Amino acid sequence: MTDPNTVVVEVLTASGCGRCQQARALTKDVVAELDERRISYREINVVDEIDYAVRLGVINTPAIALNGELVFPAPPSKARLRKAILKRLREH
């Protein structure tokens, strides 16, 4: 069970996906910059967790979900990702 005060950032990827590497790096950078203990980072290979990816509505990789909700079906800018994470942190 996830702590309700934590923002779970999930990067949905596929092996061999070049854009996925960029999305991982971007997301890790934002999480590191925020240096927030209430952020949990998780990488998900859509092949391994296809049911979860389908439930989220992932059509293409990479995609980014926050707290189990598909927020970015394509990689966002660092500023947009940071803003979305901070918004969810403030809601808690």
pTM: 0.92
For residue 48, what are its two tokens?
């391994």
pLDDT of residue 5: 80
Q: Which residues contact 15 (CB under 8 A, 6 or more apart)?
A: 45, 47
Consecutive sets of 10 residues in the chain, 92 residues long: mean pLDDT of each?
79 94 95 90 96 96 97 96 94 75
80 sits in which H/E element: helix 78-91
pLDDT score of 1: 44
